[in-house]
Amino acid sequence: MREHPLNSNRVFNNADSFAQAFDEAWQKHEQSDPHHGLDPAAKVDLILEGLGEHPFLQNQPELAQQVATFRLRLLGLAGPTQ
């Protein structure tokens, strides 16, 4: 079983819970491997794979992908090209 990146044991089947988990996983990856060389799309795939046990991602994978893309734009995490 994969370790969930949230500091809390409370995970919910909704977009807000998924967005928080995604943000935390993205930042954790940036801190642990800042020179990873992945383009944003490849990194999203990697992060989603790591969050594979999140109920929102399991039940609504297309919407979870949209939430992830939105979070990148909203927080400026993908750089100026996103």
Rounded-to-integer distance, Cα 38 and Cα 55, Å: 26
The 10s digit of each residue's pLDDT in 21-63 is: 999 999 999 999 988 899 988 999 999 999 999 999 999 999 9
For Cα atoms 25, 31, 34, give the angle at the middle one, nearest 5 degrees. Answer: 110
Domain ranges in the chain are 37-82
User: Whole-angstrom Cα distance, residue 21 to residue 40?
Assistant: 17
- The predicted structure's pLDDT at residue 80: 54
* Mean pLDDT on 10-23: 95
Q: Is the pLDDT of residue 1 over 60?
A: no
